[in-house]
Structure 1
Amino acid sequence: MTGPTVPLQRSAEPEPAAGWAPTWALGRAVLLAGLLLVAGVLLGRVDLIVLAAPFALGTAYALRRRPSALPQVWITPANDGPLVEGGEVTAAVSVGNPDTVDYDLVVLRSRVSPWLRIERAGFGRGGSDGDEPAAAATAADTAVPAVGPVRAGRSVVDRPFVTSLPTAEAVDLELAGRALRWGRHPLGPAGVRVATAGGLLVSRAVITEPVGVRVYPRTEPFEAVEAMPRAAGLVGAHHSRRPGEGGELAGVRIFAPGDRLRRIDWRVSLRARQLHVAATLSDRDAEVVVLLDVLAEAGRSGGVGGAASVLDTTVRATAAIAEHYLHRGDRVSLLEYGPGARRLRPAAGRRQYLTVLEWLLDVRADSAPHEPYDQVFGPQLLSSDALVVVLTPLLDERSAQMLARLTRAGRFVVAVDTLPTDLAPPKDRGWAEVAYRLWRLDREIMIGQLREHGVPVVRWAGAGSLDQVLRDVARLATAPRVGGR
């Protein structure tokens, strides 16, 4: 990977003192040369003056050309398409020399999010403004060889990188690794300090702003084959019980004005000596509302391939459910049950799926001091025909109360338990383990009460985990309702 060629502008009015400071080497050289000269003059010893001459001449020769500009540093992510959990991250931290003197030493260091594990790093030549000797370019390229794979749990950017840089050129620190978790992760900031004039002058630290890297959640396999409880639109992939144009056969009836000729059933018509047509059921789309409970977080995230926290399960399950229903032509909307009350309007298609992934990158767990029900479920925000899939760890009593209120309001609700199954009990001695067991029992009782009130609660298990629940909800939606007189 080679970073972009950036033209390096040289300063028109050099400022030698701006951002540059003498090193201890310069102070020692001046002090030693001065002491030897003074001692040689006072004692009348020529040998001391001869010893001081190399230090004085070497310092003067090194300072004959002083730097006039600070180094440049910038970060360039090299990933073209969207990045998914477990995908390869590539980037380049570039350092440019816009000065008229060479940089004898370049020390570069960068910070990277712990969820971006950089496993390989090495310097590569960028671009230059003029023709430089090939030997200088080769020396800079081989100043620091590429670093091999690092041990698990560490990143190679935890240490500084050192090289040299000729004038009017740029060098790229090429980084490669893996993205371990979804979210917006910073790459940087990066800082650089350079030494010139034989190591007698050093620049101040030049720091660049971090660059955000978007990592989309990995979509877990999910497939719900059951019909929706109640389709709301006029087109889609779900078979409704309303007659209309579709692919589901509803029976054969006598031809009526307005029927299409291609619907004529000639076998029945010849046998009955009267035109009959095949009646079908209309295919209709549905609206799916995915409600994310962000009032609490539990568990520790281990990234892709590791343990999953509540937010990990919630975000990945939301992406899987949205992808499934959007692929079938349904409309999907997202809601946050929390103090932020963020919402994503219902829509369908590929663009909505990309919008869902972007929306999920900003999901954060935050407790609310008040009941956010009225703030989340405002007027005309939730269709009466929508299927509401609630992803909740059921760690807050307000979450259970919200599910009960939605069910009493006549909504089609499915609760998905996102609490990790391997949640470890506290290791403290004393009453901590007993309190944990009591909390577990209390939570099981709460789930049982929700099921008694008609709220189906199922644990997320990937493909087919909601089939049985959706089958029960669809059967209840189509069952005849008894009304009192």
Structure 2
Amino acid sequence: MSRFRADAPSSPASGADVAATLVWRRTPVVAVALAGAVVLAAIGLALSRPDLVAVGIPLALCFVWALLRRPAGGALEVELSAEAGDGEGVVVGRVDIDADAEWVQLAVDQAGRRTGMADVAPDEEALRSRSRLRHSGPIELLAVTARAVALDGAWTSAVTPTARLRWNAAPVLRRLQELPVAPRLTGLHGSHEGARPGQGGDFRDIHPFAPGDELRRVDWRATARLSRAPGELYVRRVNTLSDSSVVIAVDTADDLGEVVATWGTGDLEHSGTTSLDLAREAALSLATAAIETGDRVAFHELAPGGRTLRSGAGARYLARLRDVIAATGVSGDGSRFRRTPPVPQGSIVFVLSTFFDGAAAELATRWRASGHAVVAVDVLPEPDDTRLSAEQRLATRTLLAERSDILVELRRTGVEVLTWRSGDADAVLRMLIRGRHARQAAVRR
């Protein structure tokens, strides 16, 4: 069972109420009752057995009763709801039924698989389900179809449309101590040392008093030492604290698991941790670390019609961003994005992808050429090829070799490459930051 389950509040992605008008039809029970009565009567008359004829009388009466007591219309309503349960990744689903019928038959699917059928009485809580999610992201938690039953099964209604409840499971949050900073800092609020004079930063210089300077900034010792004329004052200036512009771009074209044999099958039950599990975890962890530092974060889903959140900051924005990340799933048609998302000038861009076809790498290279700092985050899980044949294993090695060439080319263009597979992502980020500082110091020398 995957470790990438929700540890933050998750929520239903959409409502799941279905109401239908009951259209009744006879079941084979009516025909069986008539046939049984006729057969017993014929045998009883042929064998001069009045007891057999008497046995068939109740069946005949049931047949007549079913024809005369046909149900008149009515309605059937199915309501699905869910809430987070006790325990990590546990979700409790609930099915409520309201129907003008004796009882209701339900067929229940969970995560796309038929898990059971049940006969329930209406006007009460019909069923409760308890699921432990193996993956983050959007999932079809419950799908229920129903039909009403009357007169001991003599009449049933048409099957209702399927009521579906989708659930967006938030990924695990990994606490990061430090993030790389954008090459160009913006704004007058944040926690990063800026290059302009302002407030909140470290000492900058001693400067003659000018219009707009605050009197409390006057450095009297420097004034006594440096002033050459009466009334000449000197102020102590500090650097401003600015924020960094962070952009997170997630490539949703692929969702590849640890087990290579499941690639392209959509079998999440046996796939192990998937690339989108890691991408959602990385996106939430990076966004949380940036916003807690005071930076502004933008989010882009690299898919046709993908979600986009413009730059924002603060706790409310982080909650909204968490919901968007939890709802990020594999793109439906598998087509690639064509439009380059807008990125504020001088941002640091994290591109989260498996980097198989080169589309995300091309976009990262384009952003790097525009002057942005770009970090390519490799979210492909460690491949497990134990279930492959020799031919499939050879094809997989070829595919991975081509992917390695793409990552090498990214490094040559100045894009930092970060592998997000295990719990050492924070350590890798710190190494990346130290490497950037060392290169900047070498350039200054």
Q: TM-score, normalised by structure 2?
A: 0.76
Q: Which of 106, 109, 114 is the matching residue for 2:107? A: 109
Task: Map 1:19-418 to 2 at 5 A.
Answer: 19-24=24-29, 26-37=30-41, 46-47=50-51, 49-57=53-61, 65-69=69-73, 72-79=76-83, 86-99=88-101, 103=102, 106-113=104-111, 158-164=115-121, 169-224=123-178, 227-253=181-207, 255-265=209-219, 276-300=234-258, 307-340=272-305, 343-360=308-325, 361-365=327-331, 368=335, 372=338, 375-376=339-340, 381-418=342-379
Shift of 1:326: 1.8
Q: CA 1:58 to 1:364, structure 2 compared with 1: closer, same or farther past 3 Å?
A: closer
C-alpha deviations, 1:51-98, integer Å up to 9, x for none? 44444456556777543245624123142x8x9994332222122232
C-alpha deviations, 1:250-287, integer Å up to 9, x for none? 34455445332333445656777885543211011121
2:377 and 2:86 mapped to 1: Cα distance?
Answer: 24
User: RMSD of the TM alignment (CA)?
Assistant: 4.0
Shift of 1:428: 4.5
Cα pair 2:135 2:273 within 8 Å, conserved: no
Cα pair 2:350 2:377 within 8 Å, conserved: yes
Shift of 1:160: 1.3
2:41 and 2:353 mapped to 1: Cα distance?
Answer: 81
Shift of 1:423: 0.5
C-alpha deviations, 1:20-52, integer Å up to 9, x for none? 31433x333333333444666788765554444
1:225 and 1:440 mapped to 2: Cα distance?
Answer: 28
Match for 2:308: what amino acid?
Answer: R
**Does residue 1:463 correspond to 2:429, yes or no?**
no
Task: Give the gaps of 5 or more residues in structure 1.
Answer: 1-8, 115-154
Cα pair 2:40 2:52 within 8 Å, conserved: yes
Task: Give the gaps of 5 or more residues in structure 2.
Answer: 1-18, 260-266
Cα pair 2:90 2:130 within 8 Å, conserved: yes
C-alpha deviations, 1:218-237, integer Å up to 9, x for none? 32322315544321222222
1:45 and 1:426 mapped to 2: Cα distance?
Answer: 72
Q: Count matched residues.
A: 410
1:190 and 1:427 mapped to 2: Cα distance?
Answer: 35
Q: CA 1:223 to 1:280, structure 2 compared with 1: closer, same or farther past 3 Å?
A: same
Match for 1:282: what amino acid?
Answer: T
* Farther off after superposition, 54-63 or 408-417: 54-63
2:65 and 2:344 mapped to 1: Cα distance?
Answer: 81
Shift of 1:239: 1.2
Percentage identity across paired residues of the two chains: 26
Q: TM-score, normalised by structure 1?
A: 0.70
2:198 and 2:396 mapped to 1: Cα distance?
Answer: 56
Shift of 1:110: 1.4
Match for 1:27: what amino acid?
Answer: A
C-alpha deviations, 1:313-336, integer Å up to 9, x for none? 112211111122122222211234
